[in-house]
């Protein structure tokens, strides 16, 4: 099968299109014929083994990547199921977490898949798993957003942010989105009551727009003390990643500081780690697809790349200015 593979850590240039054997499935596995895969910051972190401290974790690899094929998000059709798998059968259209998704076939387990909403294309469906689950956790599970609360989302024009704005609005919150000039109208169209253009206004100034009950920070480009100034006395900060390539600790250091400071303040300082798959994944996937089926959540796709051009897609995501999601199409 055709797949985008990496044999060492490095920049997107080291990725190559190769012919490799399809994955074999065991009794508890599902083989998915991939139609589309989405790219995430998660992918370039795994590609580079970045931050360096992450190489000490079991999923990354110390000197070379443990995952030889790029990707985690996928949408496609079930090709085969193991003997112990129930609830899925060949021909089912699905989306979910499929390690090595930038390939014609990927192996996963049934608990990491859900039915593809009928109203979505495969490209739209592939955009859902990691970004939408992270947004759902940040807004509903960790942030515990309720109707009438004031919520600010930093990075509202990105993959997680575009989902988070919609989820916050669906819960009845007054959402303020922070984004660049070119994304202002997009973020407003997704349900943000107010939009802050960070190139023209300091969104961390509490004297400008008041304080917030919940702040979801998807970028990590502001000091913790300034983010706390934006919160109400009992408000909640949800920190989600951030950081740039080439760091020893990257966002891990900033997230650790959040947890340390939380022990000494009244405000609730929380962290979500968008490593996938982790946590109640199937429940979260069902939660986001339910919102999609209800018409309250729509994936935003920035651009698509053919499988052979996936390295260019990773490069675009790594630059940090994707508008929604970047998707790779896999030929049938």
Q: Confidence class of residue 249 from pLDDT cuts 50, 70 and 90?
A: very low
Q: Which pairs from 254-261 meet CB under 8 Å and 24+ separation?
A: 254/220, 254/224, 257/224, 258/224, 261/224, 261/228
The gap between the terminal CA atoms of the chain, to the nearest Å, is 11
Measured CA to CA in angstroms, residue 317 lies from 28, 281, 324, 326 at distances of: 33, 23, 10, 7
Q: What is the pLDDT of residues 28-79, one digit of tens each?
A: 999 999 999 999 988 877 787 765 556 556 676 567 777 899 999 999 999 9
**Contact predicate 71/37, CB 8 Å:** yes
**What are the strands, taking DSSP E only, across the chain?**
2-5, 16-19, 29-39, 73-81, 93-97, 105-109, 113-115, 150-154, 174-179, 194-197, 212-217, 231-240, 268-272, 301-306, 325-329
Q: What is the pLDDT of residues 255-286, one digit of tens each?
A: 777 778 877 888 989 988 655 566 778 999 99
Average pLDDT over residues 24-30: 97
So what's the pLDDT on residue 302?
95
**What are the strands, taking DSSP E only, across 155-193?**
174-179
Residue 242's φ and ψ, nearest 5 degrees, are 100, -175
So what's the pLDDT on residue 248?
44
Confidence check: pLDDT of 103 > 80: yes
Q: Confidence class of residue 10 from pLDDT cuts 50, 70 and 90?
A: confident
So what's the pLDDT on residue 45?
79
Average pLDDT over residues 138-159: 96
Average pLDDT over residues 117-130: 97
So what's the pLDDT on residue 44?
78
CATH code for the part of the protein at 2-128+299-329: 3.90.180.10
So what's the pLDDT on residue 314?
93
Q: Confidence class of residue 145 from pLDDT cuts 50, 70 and 90?
A: very high
Q: Average model confidence (pLDDT) for the chain? A: 90
**Domain 131-272 of CATH type 3.30.70.270:** no
Residue matched to tokens 């575009």: 162
Hey, where are the domains in the chain? 2-128+299-329, 131-272
So what's the pLDDT on residue 176?
98
Average pLDDT over residues 239-265: 67
Which of 128-137, 142-151, 214-223 has the least mean pLDDT? 214-223
Average pLDDT over residues 72-93: 97
Residue 81's φ and ψ, nearest 5 degrees, are -130, 150
């Amino acid at each position: 099968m055709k797949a985008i593979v990496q044999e060492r850590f490095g920049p997107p240039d080291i990725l190559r299109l190769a012919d490799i054997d399809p994955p074999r499935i065991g009794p508890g596995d599902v083989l998915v014929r991939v139609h589309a895969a989405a790219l995430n910051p998660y992918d370039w972190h795994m590609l580079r083994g970045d931050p360096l401290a992450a190489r000490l974790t079991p999923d990354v690899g110390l000197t070379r990547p443990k995952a030889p094929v790029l990707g985690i998000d996928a949408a496609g059709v079930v090709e085969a199921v193991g003997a112990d798998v129930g609830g899925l059968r060949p021909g089912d259209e699905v989306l979910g977490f499929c390690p090595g998704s930038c390939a014609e076939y990927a192996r996963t387990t049934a608990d990491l898949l859900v039915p593809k909403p009928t109203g979505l294309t495969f490209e739209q469906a592939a955009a859902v798993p990691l970004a939408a689950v992270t947004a759902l956790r940040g807004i509903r599970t960790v942030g515990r957003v309720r109707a009438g609360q004031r919520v600010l989302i930093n990075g509202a024009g990105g993959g997680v942010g575009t989902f988070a704005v919609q989820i916050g609005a669906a819960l009845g919150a007054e959402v303020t989105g922070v984004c660049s000039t070119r994304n202002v109208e997009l973020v407003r169209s997704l349900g943000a009551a107010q939009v802050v253009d960070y190139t023209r206004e300091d969104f961390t100034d509490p004297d400008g727009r008041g304080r917030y009950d919940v702040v979801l920070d998807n970028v990590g480009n502001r000091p913790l003390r300034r983010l706390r100034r934006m919160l109400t006395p009992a408000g909640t900060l949800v920190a989600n990643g951030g950081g740039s390539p080439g760091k020893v600790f990257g966002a891990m250091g900033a997230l650790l500081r959040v947890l340390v400071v939380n022990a000494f303040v009244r405000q609730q300082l929380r962290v979500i780690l968008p490593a996938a798959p982790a946590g109640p994944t199937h429940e979260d996937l069902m939660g986001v697809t339910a919102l999609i089926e209800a018409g309250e959540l729509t994936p935003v796709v920035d651009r698509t790349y053919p499988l052979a051009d996936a390295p260019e897609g990773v490069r675009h995501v790594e630059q940090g200015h994707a508008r929604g999601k970047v998707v790779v199409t896999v030929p049938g």
